[in-house]
Homo-oligomer: A and B are copies of this chain.
Amino acid sequence: MPLNQRRIGRPMKSSSSANPKPTLLHIDSSARTARSHSRRLSNAFVDAWLAEVPDTRVIRRDVGINPPPAINEQWIASAFTAEAERSADMKAALSISDAYVDELVQSDIIVMGAPMYNYGMPAALKAWFDQVVRVNRTFNFDPSEDIWPLSPILAGKTLVILTSRGEFGFEPGGIRQDWNHLETHIRTLQHYLGVEDSHLIAVEYQEFGDTRHSDSVARADSELQALVNRLTAQIEVYQTA
């Protein structure tokens, strides 16, 4: 299938689907509300998307303002207990995870505001991943497979990572390429979210506050609009095919 006809998410799989509206999961994880570049970018992306595909259903999950709890012993025991055998306490231990996974399952495109904190994800975003990557819900475990026992259950999703970095040079070949533990980590984990197509836009140089930063902001804004145009055009190509 040519790139410009790649499907965005499941509801796009059939133009005669009973549910043709795409669903967009809008996640933010910045600890900041004011002056957050990742929030500004994710809001701008959703606004630009809705301008092109107004009948999109948007699910909002803000883990920056409401950080998920870290998983605990009860969570692990419950997740590895068959659903029919879980006690009421076990079910309660998984209730947040269930809610997050339900949101993920329904989504076709995930728009993730993910600022770089200390060269990786904010702890709150890692807590979201730890709640969401779950046996029998997002991945299967095959005990007879002795090299690659894990496989994703979900498929066909698109991920857009919108990040901000205080410093610069985190791209391949850049002076800090080995310190980029945000993009590399999310790109590993996206497999278990059912993501098959992902994109990243970054604002850089935030700590310097000079023209390198303002240039970076302008470049990110321009890349963002181009990405929205490209992704929404794919939907149109598919729907009219």
Chain A residues within 8 Å of B, Cβ to Cβ: 31-34, 67-73, 75-76, 117-124, 126-127, 129-130, 133, 141, 143, 146-147, 149-150, 167, 175, 178-179, 181, 184-185, 188-189, 192, 207-208, 210
Contacts and interface: CB of A to CB of B under 8 A. Distances in A.
Across the A-B interface, give the 4 residue pairs with the lowest CB-CB distance, nearest first: A123-B127, A181-B185, A123-B126, A67-B70
Contact of A118 (B68, B133, B143, B179): B133
Contacts of A117: 71, 130
A147 B69 CA distance: 36
Given A32-B76, A76-B32, A149-B207, A185 B120 contact: yes
A229 B117 CA distance: 36
A118 B123 contact: no
A138 B171 CA distance: 26
A127 B210 contact: no
Contacts of A70: 31, 67, 122-124, 127
Given A146-B210, A149-B207, A185-B181, A31 B120 contact: no
A118 to B, nearest CB: 5
Contact of A121 (B31, B126, B149, B192): B126
A67 B123 CA distance: 10
B32 A73 contact: yes
Contacts of A31: 70-73, 75-76
B184 A188 contact: no
Contact of A119 (B33, B67, B118, B185): B185
Given A31-B76, A122-B126, 13 more contacts: A31-B73, A32-B76, A33-B73, A70-B124, A117-B130, A118-B130, A118-B189, A119-B185, A121-B126, A146-B210, A147-B175, A149-B208, A181-B185
